[in-house]
Chains A and B, each alone.
Chain A
């Protein structure tokens, strides 16, 4: 072997060692976990801001002493809100970075990652997906964000009892983001005694909803339930109002976005939606100021960002428990630790409780677009819906 060949083999060996990384990160004085969110693509407006929230969380965990003295390290990857890209990112962080815990969001991505997480014994934490199917999508998946069974049940009860509405028209995006919450809302609405007068699905890349909206108008609803993304929701609201539909529009936290108000204009006014975060206080304002100082504007989807801010705290709390018990840092032990801790007093969000088979229960805040602002109307406590 000549010197060139020896040098090449040497570099390759070094590269292999670097790629392999330490097995069992806790031994190296740090706990690694990964965050996989859309950093490119149509959902990046949310994903990037949520990533900033999680970075703040990691900073604050470490500023408070980390995991009983060990450092918390977060590895970021891009899913582009696309299941295939999500799996590529997941395999990278598990195989190359050797992380046993992955935090991610977006229903379609979580549902794609869930079986892979079970196969590799990695704990997959869903934080931001509202589809009920993500709960226990595999034995290694838990959701720390309240799924639609929580907020859509609350919305049905609020619309029926507080608003006195009876005739609901439903319009939703034709994928899991729309269909799964629709099932939850529809069941609860019918159980309460409400009527469904129209059900309209639209394609995920549609630019016009006039046909769906015309059918909804003909059904004469007093409630218009919209479960689409931020690209479509303002167009639906605008077209509904232009056509003369006066029904109360109800939706979910995706509409808490400047684009909704900018694009829908006057049609956005009065939209009522659910939020998984309690009404914002001065502490939240400080968080928004911190975000603005870093990014230069207010966050898109503040509630999601607050949940992502707290993800590192939840992970850190479970890691502390694991360390105190002397357990090895791996996926199954982290899942056990998360349930053992059970109650998490989260900054800005209040207490959330982990329940079997792998989700959380929280109060639900009902909010409304008023004068272009997002105003809390009512907090619905656990047990009231």
Chain B
């Protein structure tokens, strides 16, 4: 039973990481309809910013981590202005936009590799290497920070979406951009806000994973694929759904290896995705899958 509880707890923590990565992705997707795969590169870039600021320039980690939010937000804005806005003007097909987002991701990852090299980097040992025992379960400082960061960011974002004018405007644009324009909402501005906010939201996950597992130019794609699975499982566009999808994939991967060999761990996430696509394509909380548009 002790092992089961440990695997469950670890699954919850890694599920939170997937949910955090997916959170910014879903903010952009639900508002703009863009499957923004370049989000993976924004995630990598945020991690490299922290590496550059702390290891190469000696900035305190907390300050570098805080500055990673505006850094990621600016990068997200830049991608929208340079890559997606010209496509919107040309009424480009959703597939074209998705291909461009993959191209932007590749471009940025290669840029990072040119600047910092392709070898792995480390932020050094940030936390003391021991855990705290809670009954039969051991939990680490890193895990606690991940759980707290996830809770704070999800609650804040849900409140933002439900209680603020900007949140309502973003939902309106996500539901029907033309109708939103008719009632006087500046859709272009809302898109910018979505990219800035969604990109900033990926920075905490990037910092946490960098501390945990180190940094490499392609680190974003490795985790984004699982995060996108969490988005689909949770229901495309749903914030609580993303959290539930991330947790389900994390816990299933963790607890799954209790009884089956661990080499199948990654397959579990995609098996869940497959089952959802077949039996519940709308995910936990999703409505009809929204067709992508720009």
Write the residues of chain A forming the contact surface with B, with a CB cutoff of 8 angstroms. Answer: 40-42, 44-45, 174, 200-203, 205-208, 210-212, 214-215, 217-218, 230-231, 234-235, 238, 241-244, 259, 262-267, 300
Contact = CB atoms under 8 A, between A and B. Distances in A.
Interface in B75-106: none
Interface string B98-129: 00000000000000010001111110110011
B125 A231 contact: no
Q: Name the prevailing secondary structure of the A interface residues.
A: helix
A4 to B, nearest CB: 38
A231 B131 CA distance: 22
B138 A243 contact: yes
16 contacts: A45-B117, A174-B263, A200-B262, A207-B213, A208-B10, A214-B7, A215-B3, A215-B257, A215-B262, A235-B213, A238-B129, A241-B130, A242-B138, A244-B138, A259-B121, A262-B122
A24 B14 CA distance: 58
Contacts of A203: 263, 265-266
B222 interface: yes
A42 B119 contact: yes
B58 interface: no
B255 to A, nearest CB: 8
A207 B262 contact: no
A300 B258 CA distance: 37
Interface string B247-273: 000000110011001110110000000
Given A207-B223, A231-B216, A235-B214, A212 B257 contact: yes
A320 B10 CA distance: 60
B262 A211 contact: yes
Nearest to A229: B120
Contact of B119 (A200, A201, A211, A300): A300
B209 A211 contact: no
Max count, chain B CB within 10 A of own CB: residue among A211, A235, A244? A211
B282 interface: no
A42 B213 contact: no
B90 to A, nearest CB: 34
Given A201-B263, A215-B257, A244 B131 contact: yes
B222 A44 contact: no
A243 B138 CA distance: 6
Interface residues of B, number: 43
A259 B13 contact: no
B129 A266 contact: yes
Nearest to B133: A244
Contacts of B118: 40-42, 44-45
Closest 9 CB pairs of A and B: A265-B125, A45-B119, A210-B10, A201-B263, A263-B122, A262-B122, A218-B3, A214-B6, A267-B129
Given A207-B222, A244-B138, A259-B120, A42 B261 contact: no
Given A45-B120, A241-B129, A259-B119, 9 more contacts: A202-B265, A203-B266, A212-B257, A214-B7, A214-B10, A215-B3, A244-B138, A259-B122, A264-B129
Nearest to B110: A40
Contacts of B216: 42, 231
A172 to B, nearest CB: 10
A94 to B, nearest CB: 26
Nearest to B141: A242
B140 interface: yes
Contacts of A210: 7, 10, 13-14, 254
B113 A40 contact: yes
Given A207-B212, A211-B253, A264 B2 contact: no
A263 B214 contact: yes
A214 B2 CA distance: 10
A44 B120 contact: no
Contacts of A201: 261-263
Interface centre among B3, B6, B14, B118, by most chain A C-beta atoms within 10 angstroms, is: B118
Contacts of B138: 242-244
Interface in B1-35: 2-3, 6-7, 10-11, 13-14, 17
Contacts of A235: 212-214
B124 A262 contact: yes
Contacts of A218: 2-3, 6
A214 B257 CA distance: 10
Given A44-B118, A244-B138, A259-B122, A205 B262 contact: no
A231 B120 contact: yes
A155 B124 CA distance: 29
Nearest to A266: B129
